[in-house]
Amino acid sequence: MSASAPARSIEFHNTTLGATIAVLQAAEPSTLADSLHKMLGGMPDFFSGELLILDFGGVAQLPERIDWSGLQSLLRRYRLQPIGVMRLAAEHHEGARRAGLALVDPAQLAARPPAEAPARHAAPAEPAPAAAPPPLPPPVAAAATPTMFVERPLRSGQQIYARGTDLVLLGGVSPGAEVIADGSIHCYGPLRGRAIAGAQGNQAARIVASNFGPELVSIAGVYRTFERGIPEAFAGKPTLVRLNGTDHTLNLEALKLD
């Protein structure tokens, strides 16, 4: 199942400010613990200390008292660092503050630094005629980040991150290894570990594997685990993973490479 399927009580989204947002559908630690276990396949070390903001906007009915200690303990077991809350009812603000969580304005997460105003200069009283300026050179396109190629097999416990680009794996990924890319991931050996594409929110990213068998795949924050095994139609076969933008689920598609 994907991390954003309707039955889930929690899903994760990236922000431009370096923090992850946990969109909650429930506030009880026991309910969230069950969703996290199913979502991440019981892997408590999936995250790597990411800063986390809890979004309570989707919780239909909050309890009279939120178990802040239980929530923080649960999230830290998955190596998440809760630092703030947003869209939380006012009567719970004091409890969040006592738990050391900041109250975050959702508008801040989409904020961009304002552009600098052009410098103003006083015009001379009698400007002298000036020669026509030479023509400007044609603009040079910014160089794209080159694709990252990894030729060696990745062993259990190893991690590769292709920041701002695609990742091409020629040697395969062992169980317990992790590959992350801001773009797409192409694996031409056995894919057995965890593959995370579109790590900064690129919903158009893809995961392509010639021998499909991962523990977990993710695109733009939507996860799918395979604790019950890979579907027979895709196990060990060429497979494409893409994000369905309509209902935010991950689709598996068989590839014909002959």
Which tokens is 39 given? 């979502």
Average pLDDT over residues 67-93: 90
What is the pLDDT, as a whole number, of residue 130? 58
The string of DSSP letters for 143-202 reads PPPPPEEE-SPBPTT-EEEETTS-EEESS-B-TT-EEEESS-EEEEEEE-SEEEESTTS-
pLDDT single digits (tens) 82-119: 888 999 999 999 999 999 988 888 876 654 444 343 44
pLDDT of 217 over the 60 cut:
yes
Cα separation, 106 vs 90, in Å, equals 15
Find residue 155's DSSP bridge partners.
none
From CA 72, how far away is CA 187, in angstroms rounded? 36
Average pLDDT along the chain: 81
Residue 16 has pLDDT above 70, yes or no: no
Instruction: Give burial (CB, 10 Å; 0-12/13-18/19+) of 205.
Output: buried
CATH 2.160.20.70 fits 148-254, yes or no: yes
pLDDT band, residue 77 (cuts 50/70/90): confident
Q: For the chain, give every residue range classified as CATH 2.160.20.70.
A: 148-254
Q: What share of the chain is helix, strand, coil (3-state, %, to 5)?
A: 15, 30, 55
The region of weakest confidence among 13-22, 152-161, 237-246 is 13-22
pLDDT (0 to 100) of residue 114: 40
Q: For residue 130, what are the CA distances in angstroms to 125, 145, 188, 251?
A: 15, 42, 62, 63
Indicate where the chain has its CATH 3.30.70.260 domain(s). 10-109
| Cα dihedral 102, 44, 160, 237 in deg (nearest 10) | -130
For domain 10-109, say whether CATH 3.30.70.260 is its number.
yes
pLDDT score at 116: 42
Share of the chain above pLDDT 70, in %: 75
Tens digit of pLDDT for each residue in 220-248? Answer: 888 888 888 899 999 999 999 999 877 77
pLDDT digits 0-9 by tens, 157-195: 888 888 889 999 999 999 988 899 999 999 999 999 999
